Structure 1
């Protein structure tokens, strides 16, 4: 018995498989985005020499820098020591009513505890 492969048929199957994979990737990205948008808000607590965010406490020694991206509705990213990309659970925005006061308070806390704050820089993050 000999098997013969038709190259046109193999290319059609590969093309179809690639299209299905791209569709699945797009749909999963949309679902993850919707889930994150519907997540309830969380609180950022400044406690002496540490920050508590999403049930995670970071001491000043654990924080490499705080980045602020943008001017209108700025995005805040806290980069832990030893990381180059900001973990997704440490990227957030403040409510628009409290935005200016909260950023000022966070910046003052960082200056007191000698944590670098970079304003208007891009935050590298996953997703």
Structure 2
């Protein structure tokens, strides 16, 4: 792999999270409107927090439409002009089958950062990415992963 490989990807929209938070906000609004609450301040704070998370998820769902390039080199990977050295990567996650989402978890982190989460436009690119990780002895996990917002 002397020549860098350039692939096109986009951020994942995570529609299930958006739907879950929307349902949660609707239920808290219902609780607030019926008066079935212990403390109006705690209920209002929870509702405000969920509303902020929902706004962030809606923004990211629309921002996920733009494409960016991923450059795979010998010693690092460049995601949207952010360089990640191979020795700083702990795990490469592959979530899903039909439209797999890739998550790159850096060493020392518990969750996958949002900016390290993307989906390739081509299915063959997932195989190239996992082969690159395996060649560098980076753990590849085909399972669900948690990411920060």
Q: TM-score, structure 2 length as denominator?
A: 0.63
Query: Aligned-pair distance for 1:106?
Result: 0.9
Question: Cα deviation per residue 1:7-29 (whole Å; 9 max; x = unaligned)?
Answer: xxxx9x937x8287368436624
Separation in structure 2 between the aligned mates of residue 80 and residue 70 of structure 1, nearest angstrom:
20
Q: What's the counterpart of residue 43 of structure 1? A: 69
Separation in structure 1 between the aligned mates of residue 111 and residue 50 of structure 2, nearest angstrom:
27
Higher relative contact order (CA 8 A, sep 6+): 2
Aligned length: 110
Pairing partner for 1:103 from 126, 140, 149? 126
Question: Cα deviation per residue 1:67-113 (whole Å; 9 max; x = unaligned)?
Answer: 00111101100000100100000000111xx22x1011111111211
Separation in structure 1 between the aligned mates of residue 127 and residue 91 of structure 2, nearest angstrom:
16
Q: What's the counterpart of residue 112 of structure 1? A: 135
Query: Which is greater in Rg?
Result: 1
CA RMSD of aligned residues (A): 2.5
Separation in structure 2 between the aligned mates of residue 23 and residue 125 of structure 1, nearest angstrom:
17
Q: What's the counterpart of residue 86 of structure 1? A: 112
Counterpart check, 1:21 vs 2:48: yes
Query: Aligned-pair distance for 1:33?
Result: 3.4
Separation in structure 2 between the aligned mates of residue 23 and residue 104 of structure 1, nearest angstrom:
37
What secondary structure does 1:114 align onto?
coil
Separation in structure 1 between the aligned mates of residue 125 and residue 108 of structure 2, nearest angstrom:
26
Q: What's the counterpart of residue 8 of structure 1? A: none
Change (3 A) 1:125 1:27: closer
